[in-house]
Structure 1
Amino acid sequence: MANVNNVRKIRESKMMSKAELARKASVTVQTIDRIEKGNDCRLDTKRKIILALGYKLGERSKVFAETPLADIRGAAQGKSTSKSKVKVRRQTGKGRKQA
């Protein structure tokens, strides 16, 4: 799923290499490359990139389109807000009370 973002434009306007942005954001160069190509990334990664580019979280729409601030802040606090599939283990009969 391609996402609209201005990461490359902002990075180049600041005369910053992909490696420098990756280092400041504590992510890999490959991650920066994928994001600049429009691939999706975790909210925590978006938060790191926004801050590494010198923006405040409230200015997120200048870097990434339509990323709710609550999601970015939640990611900063380690809360998961993604709707990814989670495997749920079914309990076996052991340890369950019989009605």
Structure 2
Amino acid sequence: MSQPPKNKNIHHTLTAIEQFERDRIAFAIVAKETGMFDFIVKLANTFGRIPSASITTNDGVTTSYKTPQNITMPKLHSTKQPDIIPKEKPAPTKKIISNNYSRSKMTRFK
């Protein structure tokens, strides 16, 4: 029995990841057209991944994306985040050794 021919025009429902990738690509295209792409890249390099964003242009074109809740994004290996508060050197600590056995011996011989 032969299989029916595959129709390439069958409507395909996108998965959350596929829709997310398409939305991000559309967002990047509009960001490049509006000149905001370099600013967004600097922002992402400083603060890490941006979970959702939206752009509306002067002519009314709106594009956005949002990372779905069920997607765990891998961590970025980007530059170190700037320290807002400068780190202080920790205060030197003194190690105090408490030996109760030696204390009990000392009190018996007194």
**How high is the TM-score relative to the length of structure 2?**
0.27
Q: TM-score, normalised by structure 1?
A: 0.29
The structure with the greater share of residues assigned to helix is: 1
Q: Which has the larger radius of gyration?
A: 2
